[in-house]
A and B are shown apart, each in its own frame.
Chain A
Amino acid sequence: MPAEPAPKPFWLLSIDRRVVYLFLLVALTTPLVVQKFTSHLTMKPAPLPSARKLFDRIEQIAKERDEAVRPFREKRRPELEAKLAESDDLKKVTDPAKRQADLNTAVEKALAEEVRAARLWNKIVILGSEVEPQTRGELYPQAEAVIRHLMMRRIPFAVMTLTAPGVGYTRAIPDKVARELGRDYGKDWANFGYQVGGSLRLQQMGKNIPATLKEDVNRTPVEKVPCMQGIKDAGDVPLVIEISGLVGTLGSWINYFASEKSRPDMANGCTAVSVTDSFAYLESKQIVGLLEGIAGAAAYNEFLAEIREPDQPYPSAGPRNHMTSQTVAHVLIVLFVALGNLGVILAALARRRKGAGP
């Protein structure tokens, strides 16, 4: 006896998956295309408290640095202003306001050089950048935002990665931001590329940074990199920011990167998938701040826009635009779930009506 044909599924439950994919593609592409013509289609990102904590910590480091070098700066500033005001380049500028602005920039640059040379504040922030092709959507904006903050405040930092695919980004991201802000490699930051060995490498570095790193990506010995001079061990690192989609790497930094006497503050930038894990670290105060995926990067850029100097460019609009598409995506997912459940309810009602029929 031939088997009965399977009952046809309810129409709302049998939409082809390719239609769903196409709908998603069109819905996410539309805001990106429209944003090319107008910037009014963006919404202000939510100010995430965890991102604010990281921002405040870096601001605190800048304040500590400024306090340490303030007497020196106050002494040298008038001397440098008098000296640089006589320079030929400045004399050519006719507009008094522009001449004053250029003089301030030149004096700040010269002061930063002298502070660095005098080693009045011998610290360096370490940025572990595990940006990879599969996580670059969220982690690239995070790394860019944090690097921008460090460069805006002229806090020297060393960038490195514990994963092979992250090497290209350790060069590309700081180079991009440095071009916008006029910062110099070697003085404002150093790149140590791929550090092979994971936890063992971090353990070695915590005790002796120059002996472990040996040379930067340009094969310059560590002791010849200006921002690394005088840096010995983890005690000279006020903050480590680990930007990673890999759950284990933050744990490695927390576990292994420490000197005999001290352990630096840790912060994390993670993909949204790892947020629930990283929150556990934040709650137990093992990290001082957290960037939660692309939302964290977007929130951080809003904080940076608040402290931007007039002559500095705005932080990238990429994360803000991205969050607009995220809004569409999230609403779509909710709609798809609702649609699927509505289909189940309507199908059950239809079956009941058929069963109760004559």
Chain B
Amino acid sequence: MRKWLIIVFTFLGGIYFFIAFFLPEHIVAGRTDFQWTRYNDEISDAFQVIFYVSIGLGVINIFRVYGYQVVRGRKGWPNALALIIGMLVMTVAGLWSEFGKSDAVSAFFQDFLFTGIYNNLGSAMFSLLAFYIAGAAYRSFRVQSVEAGLMMLAALVVMIGQIPLGFYLSAKFPVVRNWLMSQVSTPGIRAIIFGIVVAMLVTAVRMWLSLEKGRARAGGR
């Protein structure tokens, strides 16, 4: 019974969009104008409400995992406390800044929390990748076969073609780079994308019709 409930709801979740895609916008017969997507706005909003009310899941999980660490004084509890305090301060300041009428709180939220802390931490985290690329270039990129040599040559052409030095050395460098990207790289990527897209569509249909083994067994014992 549970299994069938899940299968039915999964199917109903996709049937509206499936039909909306395949039917024409208006089906006119005599004086009747049938429009399947007449209430598209309301249905789309309803779908979004269904998913966005579950925002609390992440918050509850954070309290479960990190709150437990703090309460029990487990190893790393100061960091867990910093996480929880950061989350609470950001939430309260953000909501107060949006719905309250305090310029001071807005400045605190926008200039200090968002721009000062959030932006800088996020950017810094991702910028570590630059160091890893440099480390990998030195340690791992070995030209030990013809294929590796081809790869390095292509990388060299693209790298030189996209920096001002390449344009300074020869105006042809960006042109060659562009040619390589559009005539060799594009069909290569496109061939890979074809496979991915077809597989994604097949997987999406299988998920929708609950043909995947995991979905079919979900909820049932």
Contacts and interface: CB of A to CB of B under 8 A. Distances in A.
Does a CB–CB distance below 8 Å link A and B in the complex?
Answer: yes
Interface of A: 15, 17, 20-21, 24, 42-50, 132-137, 165, 168, 196-197, 200-201, 203-204, 207-208, 211-212, 260, 272, 275-277, 279-280, 282-283, 292-293, 295, 298, 323-324, 326-327, 329-334, 336-337, 339-341, 344
Interface in B114-154: 114-115, 118-123, 125-127, 130-131, 133-135, 137-144, 152
A33 B219 CA distance: 61
A200 to B, nearest CB: 4
Given A49-B178, A134-B123, A208 B142 contact: no
B44 A197 contact: yes
Contacts of B45: 197
B162 A339 contact: no
Interface string B81-118: 00000000000000000000000000000100011001
Contact of A337 (B121, B138, B185): B138
Given A46-B166, A136-B123, A280 B135 contact: no
Given A276-B181, A279-B186, A43 B25 contact: no
B168 A44 contact: yes
A14 to B, nearest CB: 10
B167 A45 contact: yes
Contacts of A134: 122-123, 125-126
B173 interface: yes
Contacts of A323: 163-164
Nearest to B139: A340
Contact of A43 (B126, B138, B168, B193): B168
B122 A46 contact: no
Q: In the A-B complex, list the 5 residue pairs whose CB atoms are closest, starting with the nearest.
A: A133-B122, A43-B164, A134-B126, A46-B167, A336-B138
Contacts of B141: 337, 340-341
B182 interface: yes
Contact of B178 (A21, A48, A196): A48
Contacts of B161: 46
24 contacts: A20-B135, A43-B167, A44-B164, A45-B167, A46-B163, A48-B162, A48-B174, A133-B119, A133-B120, A165-B118, A168-B114, A197-B44, A204-B44, A275-B181, A279-B181, A279-B185, A279-B189, A283-B182, A324-B164, A327-B164, A330-B160, A330-B163, A341-B142, A344-B144
B171 to A, nearest CB: 8
B126 A133 contact: yes
Contacts, number: 150
A196 B48 contact: yes
Given A24-B130, A197-B44, A333-B159, A168 B142 contact: no
Given A46-B166, A133-B118, A340-B139, A211 B41 contact: yes
B41 A208 contact: yes
Contacts of A47: 167, 174
B142 A17 contact: no
Contact of B167 (A44, A135, A137, A326): A44
B8 interface: no
Contact of A165 (B41, B122, B163): B122
B165 interface: yes
A276 B48 contact: no
Nearest to B123: A133
Contacts of A337: 137-138, 141, 152
A333 B41 contact: no
A277 B185 CA distance: 9
A132 B181 contact: no
A20 B178 contact: no
B168 A295 contact: no
B41 A340 contact: no
Nearest to A329: B130
Contacts of B168: 43-44
Contact of A260 (B25, B133, B163, B186): B25
Contacts of B127: 137
Contacts of B22: none
Contact of A168 (B115, B162, B178): B115
B172 to A, nearest CB: 11
